[in-house]
Amino acid sequence: MLSPDLKNALPSTDELSCSDDTPVDNEDQNLLPNILLFLLNTIWANRQDWYFGVDMAVYHTTGVNPRVPVVPDAFLSVGVERRKGGKSRKSYAVWEENEVVPILAIEMVSHTPEEYDAKMLIYAKLGVLYYVIYNPEYWRRDQHQPFEVYKLVDGNYQLQIGEPFWMSEIGLGIGRYQGAVGGIPQELLSWYDERGKRYLTAEEKAEQLAQYLRSLSIDLDNLPSQ
């Protein structure tokens, strides 16, 4: 815990950059985390004690300089305001969040695989409990699996077994599935419940409802107008 004097000397998020301005390698680095965010908005719609950031700078005091952030492709913090002071965050500074560090960080592997070394060390020192690395393109190059979940145990990350993987401290599971975006089939990430059942997107729920209505011989193309 920081002393009041040290905390007062730290910059505010209004003074800090929102990201590191590094361009993403591919569209999935924004697409997949945002799909997780939209889904979590539905799953935890009645909760206001969490925040899910996408490509947002996380500032902390466990590095060489509190003005140098780590920027996950996505992160989840639990026990913080959904909207800080009723407003959207520009960045996430641990010292402005009652010292709550992200409980989960997610990285999509880039051309330079810093996710397995440099960033892993940063997250471990910061105290991020779960670290997910998604690597569908370069996993053979990196001699890893396409999807890996690490848990921080005694200050070091240990690779976990099972998919979807249930994170009891968060109350969510995470894993992959074959879906589609804009009619284009592709592998996606999703949240799962404790039984390993995938949470459906709003579009999937709407399609299930439509199929049910058709099973009742209801013509959805000719519904009466109000």
One digit per residue, the tens of pLDDT, for the chain of length 226 reads: 666 655 666 777 666 666 555 555 667 888 999 999 999 999 999 999 999 999 999 999 999 899 999 999 999 999 999 999 889 999 999 999 999 999 999 999 988 778 999 999 999 999 999 999 999 998 899 999 999 999 999 999 999 999 999 999 999 999 999 998 888 999 999 999 999 999 999 888 888 787 777 777 676 666 666 5
Task: Give the Å distances, CA to CA, from 71 to 31, 88, 93, 164, 207.
Answer: 16, 17, 12, 25, 36
pTM: 0.86
Torsion from C-alpha of 102, 1, 3, 65, nearest 10 degrees:
-50
How buried is residue 189: exposed, middle or buried, by Cβ count under 10 Å (0-12/13-18/19+)?
Answer: buried
Where are the extended beta strands (E) located within 99-219? 104-108, 130-134, 147-153, 156-159, 165-167, 172-181, 184-192
Q: Round to whole Å and give the CA distance between 38 and 45.
A: 10
Domains delineated in the chain: 4-199 (3.90.1570)
Q: Round to whole Å and give the CA distance between 218 and 145.
A: 46
